[in-house]
Amino acid sequence: AFYGEALYNVIVTSHGILMIFFMVMPLMIGFFGNWMVPIFLHAPDLSFGRVNSFSFWLMPFSLILVLFSNCVEEGVGAGWTLYPPLSSWLGHPAPAMEFMIMGLHLAGASSIFG
């Protein structure tokens, strides 16, 4: 169900996952976020090794699950962004919610793995 509001909300959700799990949390804990320090110091060659990190390669799968959740049945992207869909199970199809929740968990795990 790729249509206006639902697709927009799923894209906003994906952006939220990227910003929280792959920039804010790692910068606070000091794991994967360390790739930003060499960029700020104008030494990008020092940050290329971070691409081999396990957490970096989990990121695309997390985003794919989040975007795919919009394709299953009616999707989960109708009027919410990150966590509010858990408050009402009547408005969201179960398989789409499973994809979304799995995507959120995968993003959190990849952030912790660093």
Per-residue model confidence as pLDDT tens digits over 13-57: 777 777 777 667 666 665 555 666 777 777 766 665 555 566 667
pLDDT confidence of residue 32 = 52
Residue type, 4: G
Give the pair of three-digit tokens for residue 69.
Answer: 């959740």
Q: How confident is the model at residue 58 (pLDDT cuts 50, 70, 90)?
A: confident
CA distance 82 to 100: 9
- Alpha helices, DSSP H, located in the chain: 4-19, 25-29, 36-40, 54-68, 94-113
Give the pair of three-digit tokens for residue 49.
Answer: 């090794």
Helix axes 94-113, 4-19, angle to 10 degrees: 20
pLDDT confidence of residue 112 = 67
pLDDT confidence of residue 27 = 64
